[in-house]
Amino acid sequence: MTAALFEELNFLSAVERFEFISKSMRDSQERLGKWREGLEFALEFEQPSSKGLKKRSGLAKQLSAVEDAVEASIRVWASKWDERAPAREGLNNTL
């Protein structure tokens, strides 16, 4: 076997491994996206209600602080997700 043929076979083997990793990453990315959407939905729409609480009570204030923290976290997550879109698109374009 010549050195050039050996190098070509090594290159083709590396390409095959990369394709497998790319497909695996895309599947993982899709699962992560679905999980993130479910988490955001649960945090936004399945929160405890402040109905029946006095607006200035300690519990109502804590609940409001949790709601504010959740909203801020979701905005940050969405921003980071958008910032990383080029990396996801690059991954999808390699397949």
Q: Kindly report, residue by residue over 85-95, the tens digit of the pLDDT.
A: 877 776 666 55
Q: Residue 34: its pLDDT value, please? A: 92
Q: Would the pTM count as exceeding 0.85?
A: no
Domain extent for 75: 3-93
> Dihedral, CA atoms, 38, 41, 43, 47, nearest 10 degrees?
-130
- pLDDT for res 94: 54
Summarize pLDDT for 15-30 with one digit per residue, the tens: 777 777 667 777 888 8
Q: Structural domain tally of the chain?
A: 1
Percent residues over pLDDT 70 in the chain: 88
The three state secondary structure string of 3-51 is HHHHHHHHHHHHHHHHHHHHHHHHHHHHHHHHHHHHHHHHHHHCCCCCC
Average pLDDT over residues 41-69: 85
Answer yes or no: are the C-beta atoms of 92 and 23 closer than 8 Å: no
Position 1 pLDDT exceeds 70: no
CA distance 66 to 68: 5
